[in-house]
Structure 1
Amino acid sequence: MSDGVETAGLTQLGQTTGLPESPEAAVLERVPNPQADVAYCVRFTAPEFTSLCPITGQPDFAHLVIDYVPGAWLVESKSLKLFLGSFRNHGAFHEDCTVAIARRLIALLDPAWLRIGGYWYPRGGIPIDVFFQTGPVPEGVWLPDQGVPPYRGRG
């Protein structure tokens, strides 16, 4: 690429790529962070995340917000989209899905900091929100609110 971004070794960007069959089969890719000397926050929002209930097989829906302060690496966004999409046919509880996503990103990126908010829509009349973060926000990093209001039904 002419803009100096290192893309050697990426297998999905710029290619027709099918949805992985499972999160384990999904290939998450990374690129070098050209601004690694600066502490800043990157946010990914997936308002239409889906997975399956591991007991009933019924679909579950969530609004995910992933914030991270990168170190040497950035997650390649197409690979992240495909990874998140791979949960569509994956049976797991809300807590497992949310924390598993965070753990895969941490293993890939070794970020300075990461948090994920999993705002799950009601199942059985009860919404479940799952939150995970690696520690305190690094000093000097501006971190906006995740912007997802608590679930309110008709009341």
Structure 2
Amino acid sequence: MSQDDIYSGLAQLGEKTAIPANPEGAVLERVPNPQAGTRYAVRFTAPEFTSLCPITGQPDFAHLVIDYVPGDWLVESKSLKLYLMSFRNHGAFHEDCTVSIGRRLAELLAPQWLRVGGYWYPRGGIPIDVFFQTGRAPGDVWIPDQGVPPYRGRG
């Protein structure tokens, strides 16, 4: 399969694309994995993820780390960026945001393995960390620690 064939069906890459109004309306795109059959890990880090509290409308901020071992598909990174940005005006609790992202990616990509770490910054004095994982991490692929230390405040 040529590189042109891999990228020919993408609608957002290389185009001016508006930020989706909500996660449900966001289009996540995938491309065939040109290294299918080789086990390796992919990491996306979104240190400025934003959503809204569904009750108060106050902004919530998180440092998201998405790790996956691809199968036949890769997520197209611009579509992932737009999908994550679609949460900025979306009201949902931390747990819902983190798990929804993990489930949507797992459904789209059918990866060999996927995990999402949602490290939410404190609001009201309590940080909330939420983790989603599709199963046991493969033992034959190097999966680094997510590198986000536990919240310690000024301590």
Band the TM-score falls in, shorter-chain normalisation: over 0.9
How far does the alpha carbon of each residue in 1:5-32 deviate from its partner, in whole angstroms, 9 at most, with x for none? Answer: 6111110000000100000000000000
User: 2:104 is matched with which residue?
Assistant: 104
How far does the alpha carbon of each residue in 1:54-100 deviate from its partner, in whole angstroms, 9 at most, with x for none? Answer: 00000000000000000000000000000000000000000000000
Per the normalisation by structure 1, the TM-score is: 0.97
User: 1:18 is matched with which residue?
Assistant: 18
Distance 2:133 2:102 in 1: 8
Distance 1:114 1:3 in 2: 25
| Unaligned runs of at least 5 residues, structure 2 | none
User: 1:94 is matched with which residue?
Assistant: 94
Paired positions, count: 154
Distance 1:135 1:3 in 2: 31
Letter paired with 1:151? Y
User: 2:61 is matched with which residue?
Assistant: 61
Per the normalisation by structure 2, the TM-score is: 0.97
Instruction: Please tell me the root mean square deviation across aligned C-alpha atoms, in Å.
Output: 1.1
Which 4+ residue blocks in structure 1 deviate beyond 4 angstroms? 2-5
Say yes or no: does 1:43 pair with 2:39.
no
Choose 138-147 or 65-74, whichever is displaced more: 138-147
User: 1:32 is matched with which residue?
Assistant: 32
Letter paired with 1:105? L
Identity rate, percent = 79
